[in-house]
Amino acid sequence: MQQTLVPEAGVGTTEPSRRPQVLTAVAGFVIGASVIGMLWALSGVNAGALEDAQDACQALARVGTIPDTTDSAPGERPVAVLAPEILHRMTAARELSAAAAAANDTYRPLAEHIDGVSRMVFSLHFNQISGQRHLAQAEQLCTQL
């Protein structure tokens, strides 16, 4: 009778190392998590900026009709009285547009035009051609959001 010897497990056999597979999996996880985190962070900034810009446009719309006295006679300055809530809404529109521009430079023109409108409104100089131009530009930009 002939006996066959079977080697014991782990004795005389070499299994391939799993170290490269583990390192590859860990590296893939780290890279994937970094990319996902970066995309998540960037999407949050832009989404917040868009919402701020839209809210600024809504606040500007809620200001209502801003008097246009650019056609009044020279020396004749009609006095307009604005309710406090109009001034608060104008301030809100200016601040929200500034926040949108700070988060995303795409909204800088909107912020600049709303700022021009707010300067006209707060000074009560509704005969400023530049202020009326800023108002028209801001309204046009708002329709594009």
**pLDDT at residue 47 in the model:** 65
Judge whether 3 lies within some domain.
Answer: no
Q: Which long-range contacts (CB under 8 A, 24 or more apart) does 104-111 make?
A: 104/45, 104/46, 104/49, 104/50, 106/49, 107/49, 107/52, 107/53, 109/137, 109/141, 110/53, 110/56, 110/57, 110/138, 110/141, 110/142, 111/56
Q: pLDDT per residue over 103-137, tens digit each?
A: 999 999 999 999 999 998 888 877 778 888 999 99
pLDDT of residue 27: 80
Helices (H) and strands (E) in the chain, counts: 4, 0
The answer as to whether 100 is a domain residue is yes
Answer yes or no: is 4 within a domain: no
Domain that includes residue 114, residue range: 48-63+81-144
The whole-number average pLDDT for the span 26-41 is: 77
45-98 pLDDT, tens digit each: 566 889 999 999 999 999 888 777 666 655 555 556 677 888 899 999 999 999
Residue 29 included in any domain: no
The verdict on residue 41 lying in a domain is: no
Using CA atoms, how far apart are residues 115 and 129, in angstroms rounded to an integer? 15
Residue 93 lies in a domain: yes
How many domains does one find in the chain?
Answer: 1
Q: Is 75 domain-assigned?
A: no
Q: Which of 3-7, 30-34, 57-61, 120-124 has the lowest mean pLDDT?
A: 3-7
Question: Per-residue pLDDT for 44 more than 70?
Answer: no
